Structure 1
Amino acid sequence: EPTGALDSRSTDELLKLFGEINASGQTIVMVTHSVRAASCASRVLFLRDGEVSLELKRGKDTDSQFYQRITDALTQQQTGGECA
């Protein structure tokens, strides 16, 4: 949870650094509950009961588009796709 205890400025700096490291060819594995941090990734895996329950790939999505896809997927995962 790399951004959990950071203020917004430090979070921005860290996510920018991760982006630069990844652009240089390095793989970054990040565990987070932050949709914002996850939306900076190229690939997001959702875990449920210790297993991968869903995989999303960014494709050509912008950060905000990917953020929305992640949010939608979280809602579906948490509600089973049905309204509570």
Structure 2
Amino acid sequence: IAPAKLAMDAGVVPHALAEAIAAAFHYHDPADPVSCQLQEQIATNGFRPACLNITGLNEDSKLLRMIEEKYRTFTLTMLS
């Protein structure tokens, strides 16, 4: 998250970093307890609250909106 925040602060839009962060939120390995906790948090609370909790981003963050958009795109791609 820190590199994406630094890029935003410098006026650079971190498209690839937002995509990588969104992809990481889709990671699930049943043998990995942290990945299971992440997926449980998303399933229970929804993506946005989970992302806010894990990243520490503000509700009005442009980076948060970018990550959400990329996450939705990945989700739709995975469902098709």
TM-score (structure 2 length as normaliser): 0.30
Higher normalized contact order (CA 8 Å, seq sep 6+, divided by chain length): 2
Higher helix share: 2
TM-score (norm 1): 0.29
Task: Tell me which protein shows more strand as a share of its residues.
Answer: 1
Kindly name which structure, 1 or 2, has the bigger radius of gyration based on alpha carbons: 1
